[in-house]
Amino acid sequence: DTATGTPLVLYFEALSRGPDDKARLTWMRKQFEKLGIQLVVRPTDYNRFREKMLKGTGQIYMWGWNADYPDPENFLFLLYGPNSKVEAQGENASNYRSEAFDALFLRMKDMQNSDARLAIIDDMLAIARRDAPWAWGFHPKNFELQHAWLHNVKPNLMANNTLKYQRIDPLLREQRRVLWNPPVIWPVGLLLVALIALVALGIAVYRRRERGAAL
């Protein structure tokens, strides 16, 4: 506010609660501060979050979409006006509506892949970038480690049914298991030495008592 000097206050509906999420939310607050905006994080459970989305009372949010097939239509329909979350309980959670975008979407969605379809998609993206119902340019990354004996594993955001494609090389797994887990026998030797020392000490104590009794 230029009159009072107070920063613009925006509210982020946060479903995240873990330590990693806390670090990310702190980073987001700092980025908004660079723009002179105060970001207030409002933690909420999923049921309350859905209620806010259905009523349109949420301001800034982060919500995923399981893209089950890799086609632009599977993403762009999330901005199609008639799919509004408030008006139609659809998947357009931002409740974005643009007559130009919607008209292009109807032309594009059933077209075969072609240069003409790509041109329409480019026009739709230009409209969406201009109107900015979503925050563009934010690309989080996930890192995953796996053993060399596990094959057909390629992390992606397109499907959750990848387990049936995974394959294990049992020979390589056994080789690595033997290499990484050699038998550790020194504790057994140490235990035997301790046991022998304990027995020897017991024998020495017993003999000392026997000698004392004989005297």
pLDDT tens, position by position, 130-187:
999 998 877 777 788 999 999 998 887 777 788 899 999 999 999 999 999 998 899 9
pLDDT band for position 2 (cuts 50, 70, 90):
confident
Asked if the structure places residue 206 within a domain, the reply is yes
Asked if the structure places residue 128 within a domain, the reply is no
Which of 58, 81, 66, 61 lies closest to 16, judged by CA?
61
Asked if the structure places residue 202 within a domain, the reply is yes
Which DSSP state fits 150? Answer: E
In percent, how much of the chain has pLDDT > 70?
97
Q: Which residues lie closer than 8 Å to 176 by C-beta, 6 or more apart?
A: 147, 148, 149
Asked if the structure places residue 195 within a domain, the reply is yes
Asked if the structure places residue 115 within a domain, the reply is no
Q: What is the pLDDT of residue 111?
A: 94
Q: Domain range spanning residue 197?
A: 184-215
Report pTM. 0.69
Q: How far is CA 103 from CA 80, 111, 124, in A?
A: 9, 13, 10
Tell me the mean pLDDT in the region 16-38.
Answer: 86
Are 27 and 50 found together in one domain? yes
Asked if the structure places residue 52 within a domain, the reply is yes
Last residue of a domain, one of 29, 63, 97: 63
How far apart are the C-alpha atoms of 209 and 215, rounded to whole Å? 10
Last residue of a domain, one of 63, 83, 101: 63
Asked if the structure places residue 122 within a domain, the reply is no
pLDDT band for position 77 (cuts 50, 70, 90):
very high
Are 167 and 188 found together in one domain? no
Are 175 and 204 found together in one domain? no
Q: What is the pLDDT of residue 214?
A: 64
Of residues 209 and 74, more confidence is placed in 74
Are 170 and 208 found together in one domain? no
Are 2 and 46 found together in one domain? yes
At 61, list the tokens: 């949010």
Are 168 and 188 found together in one domain? no
How far apart are the C-alpha atoms of 28 and 44, rounded to whole Å? 17
CATH code at position 6: 3.40.50.10860
Are 164 and 192 found together in one domain? no
Tell me the mean pLDDT in the region 180-202.
Answer: 92
Are 54 and 1 found together in one domain? yes
Assign 117 to helix, strand or coil: helix
Segment among 43-47, 93-97, 99-103, 136-140 with least mean pLDDT: 136-140
Segment among 39-43, 83-87, 162-166, 204-208 with least mean pLDDT: 204-208
Last residue of a domain, one of 29, 44, 63: 63
Asked if the structure places residue 23 within a domain, the reply is yes
Are 53 and 20 found together in one domain? yes
Are 160 and 205 found together in one domain? no
The pLDDT of residue 58 is above 80: yes
Number of structural domains in the chain: 3
Are 170 and 193 found together in one domain? no
The pLDDT of residue 64 is above 70: yes
Are 47 and 3 found together in one domain? yes
